[in-house]
Structure 1
Amino acid sequence: MKELINNLKGDKVIWTFVALLALFSFMPVFSASSNLAYIGQGTGNTISYLLKHLAHIFIGLLIIFGIHKVPFHYYRGISLFLLPVVWILLAITMIKGTVIAGANASRWIQIPFIGVSFQTSTVAAIVLFIFVARYLSKKREEEIDFKTSLIELWLPVFITLALILPANFSTASLIFLMVLMLTFVGQYPLKYLAYIIGFGIAALLLFILLAKAFPESRLFSRVETWKSRVENFSKNKPGEDDYQIEKAKIAIASGGIYGLGPGKSVQKHFLPQSSSDFIYAIIVEEYGLIGGFGVLLLYLLLFFRFVIAAHKANTVFGKLLVVGLGFPMIFQAMINMCVAVELLPVTGQTLPLISSGGSSIWMTCIALGIIINVTKKEEEIAQEISDKAKRDAALQKLIDKQLEDENNEENSISTDAETENYSIEDNSANPMNAVLNK
């Protein structure tokens, strides 16, 4: 175990927080998956769901370990190659997407012959953030031309968002906000950002108008759901998601300060997405406000560590990678918690590293692996500086020793010469020596 820990490079604090979140996730997932175990005349045995989650977490940790070995600057070129691939996957998802675990949106695509499903929008988000970080780091020393950036930066961004929006408004909105945040950090001109925000709002309004004009189209089938969710949330009216919100609020109220205890949740039997979208409500019910604030604190500490990692990065691309991949992870967690306590309308965002689901865990682990690699690079640079300082100190010590030896040798020669001169002078001054010399 000690040897394994020593092989983990990069920021050890980030590794620690990731391990804590992953370990904590087992109890809530094991408890909250009981309702899934009864679906379809199931036996109620949740062991299979626990083992499945264990496999997802284990594979996720292997992904982090593998990704953190790859130098992060390689992703500059990889993002250019993967972005068109992501567009193809998103287009296939729009046409042939499947419904998973009773979710009412076609957001997943199934890999043939393997039977594994994944949410393509999570892959698209990671690739897009890397692409944006690459563009901003490349243009950091140049004056950005708005017309050129429309083609090189914003056209790929809006193509990606347009392919995600019809099935997943919340993810498209989150990605757009995170891209705006990343471009702001990357010092993209503010006046140009204002134009982009205006264009984004106009594009969304156009999409809604087209949905009104063609209500029967499968492409616009989710628009009414978005509208009803926002209206129900703002006016506090009952809607299709009111059942889940009410059960989540009951779970949180039942938890109190100390909670009902691990595995003793009652509302897990009634919440349809208790192991994914509403797992935070189950956490508060079983572990109380102490457990809820503990999870919140872990995410905030992880966010703080991301800020430190971005500050320490010596390259602009490294800084932007940490911001672009780390901050959305924390914002997603905050959105999930806010939905559980009814501060936001239902969005369908999972709790990173805690909610069940393979693709969401794995995509989070890919992002974490890249971030850790950035910190690993800075750690290697610091180690190289430290090693160079040690070598310089040893060399200086050797030089000082050599100079000291040379000085001692010169002093010895000088002393011998003075002794010899003194002997000659002493002999010549003695009259008897003078007679003998004659």
Structure 2
Amino acid sequence: MQNMLNKTKGDRWIWLIVILLSIWSLLAVYSATGTLAYKRGVGTEAILMKHLMFVVGGLALMYFSHLLDYKYYAGISKLLMVITIPLLLYTLLFGANVNEASRWVTIPLINQTFQTSDMAKLALITFLARTLTRKQENIKDVKKAFLPIMGSVCVVFILIALANLSTALMLFGVSILLLIIGRISVKQIAIVCLGGLVLLTAVVFLGPRRKTYVSRIEVFMHPEKADPDKSFQANQSKIAIATGGIMGKGPGNSTQRNFLPHPYSDFVYALIIEEYGLVGGLALVVLYLLFLWRCILIVTQSPKAFGALLAAGLSFSLTIQAFANMAVAVGLGPVTGVPLPLVSMGGTSILFTSVAFGIILSVSRDIDEKKADSTTSDKEKNKEKKVIIGEIPAMA
């Protein structure tokens, strides 16, 4: 155990944030899953133990991911993209249909569902970071740099958007941010945005879930005219937040958990505010903002472009996802199926989010090691100077 702690490197603040979010996740999930446990005919403790296994598994993946030199993720990204695109296509055609969306693939033997878009987010961001780094000398070249980048972004976007538009839009936004940081020209970025807009329009008005997307937008824009059944989730979430007050009802004392359809995943932030109040809600916001700030420091200090792009892309993705989830819970956006990173209950979401945190910590670990080597080198040079000066004979 002591050996593992000695090998734990990287930004200490990010480690602390991960631990706090994990503890909060266990408290929230235990409080929110009473109704789910009743429907499944199991005890709440059984669901909590399963969630705990994923949390511990996520921490283990984070630990091993941060030990691996981040430069190896450049090669891994190619393999991930080769696996991800066929897997996304398979999910659309043959995936498990849950809530009228084919987002999951059932893993044989263990009978555990696997959300392929979680892998796709990690794959595309690492692949873009690698491609933008490798193509810097030809970054303005349309054939050598622009087309491969645009092709990967648009293909992944359309494959995810057909079943999960909110995740696809967030991933597309992160991709555009990476293109800006990677010095892609404004003209080329505008072309990517135009291509994304065309694909978005096609998905919203022609895709298999077009009725769901249009309905959610209409409910959000005109809640007073909406069908009560369609606005039920949003209304129950607002009730939870309104009754939470400043200090909340206390851990485990939520009443809206019995009415919210997904108080342990999509609307876990509403349950947190109900139980921990405005103070708890703001504390969670501060944790994600602190995480983003620490990641920005990592980006600015990284000596290599790949490390900077990798940390920037993953941190933007996690932070945007967190604030998208919180915005939905407080009524600032239409209802989506986006989980709160490291807090919402969900197997693959926790595991891949943990890997993303681990990669960011790997970049941070590399920065710390280079600083330590530089400090050691400076000390050795100073010692050599003192020895040389000491050997010079004193002038008579």
Fold shared, TM-score > 0.5 on shorter chain: yes
Q: Is the contact made by 1:17 and 1:302 (CA closer than 8 Å) also made in structure 2?
A: yes
The equivalent position to 1:295 in structure 2, one of 250, 264, 284, is 284
**Residues 235-384 of structure 1: matches in 2 within 5 Å?**
235-236=222-223, 237-239=225-227, 240-384=229-373
CA contact (8 A) 2:204 2:213 kept: no
Alignment of 1:187-198 (within 5 A): 187-198=183-194
One-letter amino acid matched to 1:65: Y
Cα deviation for residue 4 of structure 1 reads 4.0
CA distance in 2, matches of 1:263, 1:126: 34
Q: Which of 222, 232, 253 is the aligned partner of 2:219?
A: 232
Structure 1 vs Structure 2: percent identity of aligned residues?
39
Partner of 1:144: 140
What do the CA deviations read for 1:166-206 (whole angstroms, capped 9, x no partner)? 11111111111110111111121111111111122122333
Deviates more, 1:371-380 or 1:240-249: 240-249
> Quick check: 2:249–2:277 contact (8 Å CA) kept in 1?
yes
Q: Aligned residue for 1:52?
A: 50
Corresponding position of 1:93: 91
Q: What are structure 1's unaligned runs of at least 5 residues?
A: 212-219, 412-438
TM-score (norm 2): 0.95
Equivalent residue number for residue 129 of structure 1? 125
Q: Distance in 2 between matches of 1:99 and 1:267?
A: 27
Secondary structure at 1:131's aligned position in 2?
A: helix
The verdict on how the C-alpha distance between 1:115 and 1:384 changes in structure 2, with shifts beyond 3 A counting, is same
Alignment-mate amino acid for residue 308 of structure 1? L
Q: Of 138, 142, 160, which aligns to 1:164? A: 160
Deviation for aligned residue 1:316: 0.7
SS at match of 1:68: helix
- Going from structure 1 to structure 2, the CA distance change for 1:135 and 1:291 (only over 3 Å counts) comes to same
Partner in structure 1 of residue 65 of structure 2: 67
Write the distance in 2 (CA, Å) between the matches of 1:151 and 1:193. Answer: 12
Letter in 2 for 1:176: F
The normalised TM-score by structure 1 is: 0.87
CA distance in 2, matches of 1:202, 1:147: 22
SS where residue 106 of structure 1 aligns?
strand
Q: State the structure with more CA Rg.
A: 1
Report what 1:206 is aligned to. 202
Q: CA RMSD in A?
A: 1.6
Find the counterpart in structure 1 of residue 30 from structure 2.
30
**Partner-residue secondary structure (3-state), 2:105:** strand
Q: Which region of structure 1 is more displaced relative to structure 2, 353-362 or 184-193? A: 184-193
Task: Specify the code of the residue in structure 2 equivalent to 1:395.
Answer: E
Query: For the residues of structure 2 that align with 1:91 and 1:264, how far apart are their CA atoms?
Result: 43
Per-residue deviation at 1:61? 0.5
Shift of 1:397: 2.1
For 1:282 and 1:206, locate their aligned partners in 2 and report how far apart those are by CA, in whole Å. Answer: 35
Q: CA deviation at 1:232?
A: 1.3
Which runs of no fewer than 5 residues in structure 2 stay unpaired? none
Contact 2:139 2:146 (8 Å CA) reproduced: no
How far does residue 57 in structure 1 lie from its aligned partner after superposition? 0.8
Secondary structure class of the residue paired with 1:110: strand
Q: Distance in 1 between matches of 2:139 and 2:177?
A: 19
Size of the aligned set, in residue pairs, is 394
Q: Do 1:241 and 1:346's aligned partners in 2 also have CA atoms closer than 8 Å?
A: no
